Amino acid sequence: MATAIVGWAHTPFGKHENQTLESLIVTAATDALAHAGLAPSDVDEIVLGHFNAGFSPQDFTASLVLQASDDFRFTPATRVENACATGSAAVHQAIKTIEARRARVVLVVGAEQMTTTPGPEIGRNLLRASYLREESGIDGGFAGVFGMIAGAYFQKYGDQSDALARIAAKNHKNGASNPLAQMRKDLGYEFCRRESEKNPLVAGPLKRTDCSLVSDGAAALVLTDVETALRMRRAVMFRGTAHVQDFLPLSKRDILKMEGCAQAWRKVLAEAGVALSDLSFVETHDCFTIAELMEYEAMGLTPEGQGARAIEEGWTEIGGKLPVNASGGLKAKGHPIGATGVSMHVLSAMQLCGEMPAPIQVKDAKLGGVFNMGGTAVANYASVLERIR
């Protein structure tokens, strides 16, 4: 690989009533360039990750990045979308452009504003990331889809409520120390495990604490070739990337195996020339706690049906053999769709540069893994990152 991250920015995720999609994009773009020590005139191309699907009435958004500076005028700008993996799709598009030598510096921005949309409409918008011909009637929207998957997993492997509660508690504990996270509160295992008025069932066996948060936010990265990066303030190189796309209909797959996720991990580790055990940490796509549990298995941390062992034995805690979602993950950090994949890469770069708050800084982090998923393991993006400067 010949691409590196040389700058980044990340707005806090949450409910931003006084912001707009445009202002979030402009803030992230401006701050990322300042962090990289570059000017808008240094940027050869812009890639915006923005899912939308009805969240914003403005549906032609690539040029909103140009609102950050008049010097961006006439710079190529493209919006990309791949459901909840939209942010990583933007990152990977930028990497391809740099490695094709069509650009030296690419600005990647991921953004979404979701909280201004009424609740029932949020559910309908998110369900558009499923196969509507067969799945539009599932109760509970996308939570209903994962609730159904969780129910099938429980039926095959036994009640996993303890494991899901431990995952939720771990991520909320981590998120409490992340100043960028939407929910900065350590909820504790008992609260996450027990159904209550404040933690009701949402879909199938999934409770509110099993579901990621509806969020507003933006994140941005400045990417360049490694030769240029080594002359700059910092450089975090992509050791490997992989993108695996699977069938959209659930009916065409055994969703309990997350085969697209597993394929992406196999490919990215092979390209990076490392094993899973070589990674210092992983940021993975915990849109629902059942997803993180199944991703333990898909990445090869445990055999199929034994994901609970990883959380029960503390493997994925900070200080464990493979910390997962030290940032708090989507569960605590929030999940503004288009921003999520970019955010995961920003936070991984911060880990590798030793810039996370002490309680959630992984000690001596050398290699970081990222897995970002669109739909129900349909769009699967994986990266391995390493600091080189």
Q: What are the tens digits of pLDDT across the range 161-182?
A: 999 999 999 999 999 999 999 9
Tell me, what's the pLDDT at 140?
A: 81
Tell me, what's the pLDDT at 138?
A: 87
Q: What share of the chain is helix, strand, coil (3-state, %, to 5)?
A: 40, 20, 40
User: How many other C-beta atoms lie within 10 A of the C-beta of residue 345?
Assistant: 29
What are the residue ranges spanned by the domains of the chain? 3-117+214-229
Rounded average pLDDT over 123-136: 92
Is the per-residue pLDDT at 378 higher than 90?
yes
Rounded average pLDDT over 227-232: 97
Rounded average pLDDT over 52-69: 97
Tell me which CATH code domain 3-117+214-229 carries: 3.40.47.10
Is the per-residue pLDDT at 1 higher than 70?
no
CA distance 280 to 183: 25
Tell me, what's the pLDDT at 11?
A: 98
To the question of pTM greater than 0.95 for the whole model, the response is yes
Rounded average pLDDT over 59-77: 98
Give the angle subtended at the CA of 275 by the CAs of 224 and 228, to the nearest 5°: 15
Tell me, what's the pLDDT at 369?
A: 98
For the chain, what percent of residues have pLDDT higher than 70? 100
Is the per-residue pLDDT at 103 higher than 70?
yes
Is the per-residue pLDDT at 223 higher than 90?
yes
Tell me, what's the pLDDT at 137?
A: 87
Q: Look-up: residue for tokens 């992984």?
A: 362
- The chain-wide mean pLDDT, for the chain, equals 97
